Amino acid sequence: MPIATPQQYRDMLDAAQSGHYAYPAINVTSMTTANAALKGFADKKSDGIIQVSTGGAAFASGLAVNDQPLGAISIAEHLHRVADRYDVLIALHTDHCQPKVVDSFMVPLIEESERRFAAGEPTLFNSHMLDASNLPLEENLDLSVPLYERLAKLGMMLEIEAGIVGGEEDGAAGSEDTPAEKLYTTPEDMVEVYRRMNPIDGTYMFAATFGNVHGSYKPGAVKLRPEILKQGQDAIKAEFGADARFHLVFHGGSGSEKSQIKETLQYGVVKMNVDTDTQYAFTRPIVDHVLRNYDEVLKVEGEVGNKKKYDPRSYLKLAEAAMAARVGEACDDLEATGKSLLAAAVAV
């Protein structure tokens, strides 16, 4: 059953924390991109996280419907069925839900999981992200804690963010003119997050910010300060004891130096969002196909074209394969390759 159970998901995060690796969290918007993510993880024998944003969910429901919960449910149900054919564990997650759409996006999905849980079925998703980072920290946590309590009753997780990821991408809270000081979560804020969240009997993830920025950048353009993460982990250990730790999430990694990505793994990053790079990987072969076969893709000057070249399957297969390869590259970068807990259990 490759959609992870609550215990398997916790085991995934614990294994990544202790083993100093992380899971790529791949944003998908369709069955094709979801299939690409599955293939990428399976090819690398890596467990992984597949996630849907509010914008991606709306797209998945179709232009005429534009229903975020419906699109998210559709992708999740597809993954529940298809992931069963693969030999790695997959956790399902929703990405960047801002406070203004909690009631219209996240709550309907939680209600669907509650319905399934009451019927003895697996929850629809494994975890959700609340991105209330634009709010003052107290208000952020006042919203986060009740949602976390509700999810914990189902064995589900919540991801929260404090500090703002710069740039802007598909509903993310940042903007191009985010003040520089807001790009770094302080140790004091991390202590307060732990104080408010840790008493709840469950598991959560924390996206602390350390200069990360959403979007596409040349290597070296994003100026990260990974030491911010270590300072935060040290602060909570000093305040709450040696066993205190965060399961940290890395947003906005496009353009980051691979050495800095690997450094974050030493400080407790167990999940890294990957979207911009997989979007490009998916699109590149489509463009190449069209440019190479222009006269056959189009019915130019009264000709009939070539159905084998303009059939969407001809280029979407190429796109799926290219995106899967980029997912595999992310598994390598985050040192998750070959570490599937499911594959290890089968081998034993």
pLDDT tens column, 166-190 = 555 565 544 455 555 567 899 999 9
Beta strand residue intervals within 131-180, DSSP E: 157-162
pLDDT for 320 equals 98
Dihedrals phi, psi of 212, to nearest 5 degrees: -75, 150
Residues 6+ apart with CB under 8 A from 200: 145, 148, 149, 152
Rounded to an integer, the average pLDDT of 46-63 is 98
Give dist(CA 88, CA 263) in Å, integer: 26
Residue 263 pLDDT > 90: yes
Residue at token pair 């990428």: 40
Count the Cβ atoms, other than its own, within 10 Å of residue 38: 25
In the prediction, which pLDDT does 175 show?
Answer: 46
Single-letter residue type at 139: E
In angstroms, the CA 230 to CA 145 distance is 24
Q: Domain span at residue 159? A: 6-277+323-347
Q: Look up residue 288 and give its two tokens.
A: 């190449």
* 91: pLDDT strictly greater than 50: yes
CB distance 279 to 26 below 8 Å: no
Mean pLDDT of the chain: 92
Sign of the dihedral defined by the CA atoms of residues 228, 230, 236, 238, in that order: negative
pTM: 0.93
What confidence score (pLDDT) does residue 33 get?
98
Average pLDDT over residues 254-280: 91
Is the residue at 253 inside a domain?
Answer: yes
* DSSP code at position 3: B
pLDDT greater than 80 at residue 241: yes
> Domain for residue 39, yes or no?
yes
Is 73 within a domain? yes
What per-residue confidence (pLDDT) applies to 163? 81
Q: Which residues pair with 273 in a beta bridge?
A: 25
Q: In the predicted model, is pLDDT for residue 216 greater than 80?
A: no
Residue-level pLDDT at 244: 98
For the chain, where are the E strands, in sequence order? 23-27, 48-53, 90-97, 127-130, 157-162, 204-208, 248-250, 269-274
- 145 belongs to a structural domain: yes
The answer to the question of residue 244 being in a domain is yes
Strand partners, 248: 206, 269
- pLDDT range class, residue 279, cuts 50, 70, 90: very high
pLDDT (average), residues 14-43: 98
Q: What positions carry a catalytic annotation?
A: 95
pLDDT of residue 133: 92
Domain presence at residue 287: no
221 has a pLDDT exceeding 90? no
Domain membership of residue 311 (yes or no) is no
What's 104's DSSP letter? I
Q: Is residue 19 part of a domain?
A: yes
The tokens for 144 are 């986060």
- What is the percent of the chain where pLDDT is above 90? 82
Residue 289 has pLDDT above 90, yes or no: yes
CATH number, position 156: 3.20.20.70
**Count of structural domains, the chain:** 1
Region 231-248: what's the mean pLDDT?
A: 98
Percent of the chain with pLDDT over 70: 89
Structure tokens at 283: 């699109």
